[in-house]
Structure 1
Amino acid sequence: MEKKVNDLRSALALLKSMPGQLIETDVEVEPKAELSGVYRHVGAGGTVQRPTKEGPAMIFNNVKGHPGARVAIGVLASRKRVAALLGTKPENLGKMLYESVDHPVAPILSKKPAPCQEIVHKAEDPDFDLYRLVPAPANTPDDAGPYITLGMCYATHPDTGLSDVTIHRLCIQGKDELSIFFTPGARHIGAMAERAEELGQKLPISISIGVDPAIEIGSCFEPPTTPLGYDELAVAGALRGEPVELCDCITVKERAIANAEYVIEGEVIPNVRVQEDQNSHTGYAMPEFPGYTGPASSQCWLIKVKAVTHRKNPIMQTCIGPSEEHVSMAGIPTEASIYGMVEKAMPGRLQNVYCASPGGGKYMAVLQFKKLTASDEGRQRQAALLAFSAFSELKHVFLVDEDVDCFDLNDVLWAMNTRFQGDADIITIPGVRCHPLDPSNDPYCSPGIRDHGIACKTIFDCTVPFDQKERFKRARFMDVDPEKWTKDAR
């Protein structure tokens, strides 16, 4: 019988049943830098500094300074694991998410006791201390402090009453204070906080940690696919075929994910900004998805924490910023956004999309495009333009034919080496706003760039011209099932 996944514990149970997908250790680990340093070698992958690799998820059962708590890392640091956790094949993930966005299942308020509230700690308690209650790691010795990297932030717009879930970088700043970084203009909860500030109001917020992986994947959609007012918890509901269950918070007027491992309840304070590294003074925040450690921001907002609730024997979930886990969370929703945009414009042409690991799931996409008629010549480049409009942070698009495996970068580079000419097949679009975390998107790197965060978006057309397809047929091999020869091989 297939294991049902609806929270972190059931997800870990499924991974445990899959050979080589989950390991545990009882050896004590220091949460500051050491835990991530270990996982870098075990299975981080992505854009993490080499040596690293894709490997199993890992549970640390003995975290220094946090008796009874465990830390899980790398749950989503493999496309194969994500597919298993969502009950599909790796190559179908983008299409599956695209369908889920178009058929949302809204969350509901549960009437049952919430597992996330089995144990309650209120900020008014004399021994309340976030550093002690939440085993949040620091990725490197340079980090501004302990970071909550997989906190599902949930808030409600003060005007519309519509709610949304988003992941933000959260740094513990004091015994009852967190800093939260809002990328300007990029995320829904940032817009809610800005509006609350205009009204002179605090914004109630819940931060759910250790949840169903469907929620973590679904929460990473961005406009225009999920505009302001679209609650991405409904994507998770569609993926599971049943609504996400919420509970009322204990100390603030907001809701949280009922079966989370931890919930932090608090309020975003208006007209207060926090220096992110005010305690460490390193000048850095944390490692970001491009593989570099980002600078500490002086413009983080402040969350005043009112309570921490959690399950008995809770499991903290974390990730390494530049790891394959970010590729899964950011890249698969991006694939869905691109696929949806192109499919609506030219049905049947785009076969698949892969937002590859070297781009951190954001900067690079490979589009597998099928030209059905002579009039489709040139439409592949139109598809690339649609991809840029579907996802503004995209920098490079590689176009390949249907006989090229878009998920195999060796095959993509083969197509580039045998079907691409630099003077004819590179299309550049200079001066377009892209992503501020790419250090090359800066006037220092190109005189044509007017401001930090602006890039030259580039299309690499590695497709064969329609009228020359006969010249580019791959060598044909006999299609056989190798099991007859390999099942008893020694």
Structure 2
Amino acid sequence: MPATTKVKVTDLRSALELLKTVPEQLIETSEPVDPHAELSGVYRHVGAGGTVKRPTQIGPAMLFNHVIGHEDASVIIGLLASRERVGLLLDTPADRLGFLLNEAVKAPIQPVTIPNEKAKAQEVVHYADEPGFDIRKLIPAPTNTEEDAGPYITMGMCYASDTETAESDVTIHRLCLQSKDEMSMYFVPGRHLETYRLKAEQEGKPLPISISIGVDPAIEIAACFEPPTTPLGFNELSIAGAIRKEAVELVPCLTIDEKAIANAEYVIEGELIPNVRVREDQNTNTGKAMPEFPGYTGPAIAELPLIKVKAVTHRKNPIMQTVIGPSEEHVNMAGIPTEASILQMVDRAMPGKLLNVYAHSSGGGKYMAVLQFKKSLPADEGRQRQAALLAFSAFSELKHIIIVDEDVDLFDSNDVMWALNTRFQGDVDTMMLPGVRCHPLDPSQSPEYSHTIHQKGVSCKMIFDCTVPFHLKEHFKRAEFKEVDPSRFAPDLFKS
């Protein structure tokens, strides 16, 4: 999928310019679209993929240039909803993306700060204390479905700092627009920004926070790393810098003591208010939040921390970026850093044995991983299972792991299922790890589902060892075919 013109990607706009040079990677439309449910409803068919209810498919990104109620803005969706497109945007083959991120973590380049007058993200400024200020009118945040608790910012790079150490971090959270100058913020337990928020709250202080929307895809992927690969105090913007071999540029905010991404399309400046909570669906009373990565609509949370918005800045004719929660876009954002984390941890313990990792689409990039493992010696037998245990340590939200041999294409689900059917016996090749903490959004992880589950978010993790026992490898060789050049006979199918 080569680009016809080499475009250097430094922000969202250059990413879109690159996609325009590659056939079938971007659809641009001026057809009027309602951001309330219709925009996501359209993209569900065009290219959402992932765990979205069928019918859906993996397809091009889509740029809507006529968003009803927001005539001066556009909305892009699905930018990262194809692994091949992520590879194109990060200039790396799709099957090597985990390796790219693994190397980037090892050689971080810290962000730098530029003056306000050079920041494209501050070309237009709206202060919250100005008459008529309303974040819901300034930002075309869609709802994914008609049941959503409200308009959501789903691709906001949330940036905040430790009040004591001044260490900073960036993560992505679901943010619901609650009023003209208020947003709720959902925290999955253990996220670094929650640690910063709790520390500030214990001190009775508001936590300054910036939300940058519409940025370089390298930042969006890097922001999804989690501990232990990136421990508390590790600024994931440095990973994006390593990917691009150039530091991410930040700019001081105008109303709070924090920084934001300088070339973002939008920046929201605000403060997390201590000891104030808000019901997520207070404006709709649906009991629902929004569709989450497992494919189900998450329940509205009764009490969420509140962000008080101080200002919104943006570029001229800004482009809002959004994502369907259960789409292939989430798979790639969450899954590729997961792959990098597993590769890093296993390679430390047994160099050269783990050939590749795929955080499978059916698990939303979080729940399932396929490990491709090579046994070279009799002593390697059993080490594949050790690798799976290390993978659970590298990424705590994993639920299921399938291990395959080097002759299986881990990115081809049919090939993985072939290994499950011909190289697996349930009574000897299944390992169960009950009572282990996983991820709270899996609806099967609840006491109502099974009496063996005593607390929501606890799961029985499983390893499916679909590798051939080393002493039987000769008996499981796949049929060999003659190597030929198919382009001689079907040139349209096999273009060089």
TM-score scaled to structure 2, two decimals? 0.98
- Partner of 1:486, secondary structure, is coil
How far apart are the structure 1 equivalents of 2:169 and 2:108?
A: 13
Pick from 186, 208, 229 the counterpart of residue 204 of structure 1: 208
Map 1:98-109 onto structure 2 (within 5 A).
98-109=102-113
How far apart are the structure 1 equivalents of 2:185 and 2:483?
A: 54
Pick from 5, 21, 26 the counterpart of residue 9 of structure 2: 5
- Which residue does the alignment assign to 2:359? 355
How far apart are the structure 2 equivalents of 1:260 and 1:489?
A: 40
AA paired with 1:129?
Answer: D
- Which residue does the alignment assign to 1:154? 159
The size of the alignment, in residue pairs, is: 489
Q: Does structure 2 conserve the Cα–Cα contact (< 8 Å) formed by 1:442 and 1:452?
A: yes
Tell whether 2:421 aligns with 1:417: yes
Map 1:178-257 onto structure 2 (within 5 A).
178-185=183-190, 187-257=191-261
How far apart are the structure 2 equivalents of 1:489 and 1:369?
A: 31
1:324-373 residue CA offsets vs partner (Å, 9 max, x unmatched): 00000000000000110001100000000000100000000000000011
Per the TM alignment, residue 113 of structure 1 is displaced from its structure 2 partner at its CA by 1.3
Per the TM alignment, residue 299 of structure 1 is displaced from its structure 2 partner at its CA by 2.3
Q: Does structure 1 conserve the Cα–Cα contact (< 8 Å) formed by 2:228 and 2:394?
A: yes
How far apart are the structure 1 equivalents of 2:76 and 2:43?
A: 10
Tell whether 2:460 aligns with 1:456: yes
- Partner of 1:479, secondary structure, is coil
How far apart are the structure 2 equivalents of 1:209 and 1:467?
A: 54
AA paired with 1:177?
Answer: E
1:263-307 residue CA offsets vs partner (Å, 9 max, x unmatched): 000000000011000011110110000000000012211000000
- Which residue does the alignment assign to 1:308? 312
- Which residue does the alignment assign to 2:125? 120
Pick from 443, 446, 463 the counterpart of residue 450 of structure 2: 446
How far apart are the structure 1 equivalents of 2:118 and 2:126?
A: 17
Pick from 171, 177, 197 the counterpart of residue 166 of structure 1: 171
AA paired with 1:154?
Answer: Y
Tell whether 2:393 aligns with 1:389: yes
TM-score scaled to structure 1, two decimals? 0.99
Q: Aligned in 2, Cα 1:489/1:133: closer, same or farther, shift over 3 Å?
A: closer
- Partner of 2:280, secondary structure, is coil
- Which residue does the alignment assign to 1:41? 45
- Partner of 1:306, secondary structure, is strand
Q: Does structure 2 conserve the Cα–Cα contact (< 8 Å) formed by 1:363 and 1:395?
A: yes
How far apart are the structure 2 equivalents of 1:96 and 1:443?
A: 40
- Which residue does the alignment assign to 1:406? 410
Q: Does structure 2 conserve the Cα–Cα contact (< 8 Å) formed by 1:181 and 1:299?
A: no
- Which residue does the alignment assign to 1:91? 95
CA-based RMSD of the aligned residues comes to: 1.0
**Which ranges of structure 2 fall in alignment gaps of 5 or more residues?**
none
- Partner of 1:449, secondary structure, is coil
How far apart are the structure 2 equivalents of 1:415 and 1:120?
A: 57
**Which ranges of structure 1 fall in alignment gaps of 5 or more residues?**
none
Per the TM alignment, residue 488 of structure 1 is displaced from its structure 2 partner at its CA by 5.8
Per the TM alignment, residue 169 of structure 1 is displaced from its structure 2 partner at its CA by 0.4
How far apart are the structure 2 equivalents of 1:450 and 1:139?
A: 32
- Partner of 2:277, secondary structure, is strand
AA paired with 2:471?
Answer: D
How far apart are the structure 2 equivalents of 1:422 and 1:319?
A: 38
Q: Aligned in 2, Cα 1:211/1:489: closer, same or farther, shift over 3 Å?
A: closer
- Which residue does the alignment assign to 1:469? 473
How far apart are the structure 2 equivalents of 1:488 and 1:329?
A: 33
Q: Does structure 1 conserve the Cα–Cα contact (< 8 Å) formed by 2:366 and 2:397?
A: yes
Tell whether 2:324 aligns with 1:320: yes
Q: Aligned in 2, Cα 1:488/1:9: closer, same or farther, shift over 3 Å?
A: closer
Percent identity over the alignment is 67
- Partner of 2:118, secondary structure, is coil
Per the TM alignment, residue 477 of structure 1 is displaced from its structure 2 partner at its CA by 1.1
- Which residue does the alignment assign to 1:342? 346
AA paired with 1:246?
Answer: L
AA paired with 2:211?
Answer: I
Per the TM alignment, residue 489 of structure 1 is displaced from its structure 2 partner at its CA by 7.7
1:196-221 residue CA offsets vs partner (Å, 9 max, x unmatched): 00111110010000000000000000
1:74-106 residue CA offsets vs partner (Å, 9 max, x unmatched): 000000000000000000000110110111000
AA paired with 2:258?
Answer: E
How far apart are the structure 1 equivalents of 2:353 and 2:125?
A: 53
1:250-272 residue CA offsets vs partner (Å, 9 max, x unmatched): 11110000000000000000000
How far apart are the structure 1 equivalents of 2:90 and 2:182?
A: 35
How far apart are the structure 1 equivalents of 2:450 and 2:135?
A: 44
Pick from 97, 119, 143 the counterpart of residue 138 of structure 1: 143
1:440-463 residue CA offsets vs partner (Å, 9 max, x unmatched): 111222221111111000000000
- Which residue does the alignment assign to 2:74? 70
Tell whether 2:62 aligns with 1:58: yes
Per the TM alignment, residue 478 of structure 1 is displaced from its structure 2 partner at its CA by 1.7
AA paired with 1:128?
Answer: F
How far apart are the structure 2 equivalents of 1:382 and 1:157?
A: 36
Structure 1 segments of 4+ aligned residues over 4 angstroms from their partners: none
How far apart are the structure 2 equivalents of 1:63 and 1:328?
A: 26
- Which residue does the alignment assign to 1:260? 264
Q: Does structure 1 conserve the Cα–Cα contact (< 8 Å) formed by 2:487 and 2:493?
A: no
Q: Does structure 2 conserve the Cα–Cα contact (< 8 Å) formed by 1:442 and 1:451?
A: yes
Per the TM alignment, residue 246 of structure 1 is displaced from its structure 2 partner at its CA by 0.4
Per the TM alignment, residue 479 of structure 1 is displaced from its structure 2 partner at its CA by 2.0
1:371-413 residue CA offsets vs partner (Å, 9 max, x unmatched): 0110000000000000001111000000000000011110000
How far apart are the structure 2 equivalents of 1:300 and 1:488?
A: 55
- Which residue does the alignment assign to 2:279? 275
1:424-472 residue CA offsets vs partner (Å, 9 max, x unmatched): 1000000101111001111222221111111000000000000000000
AA paired with 2:99?
Answer: K
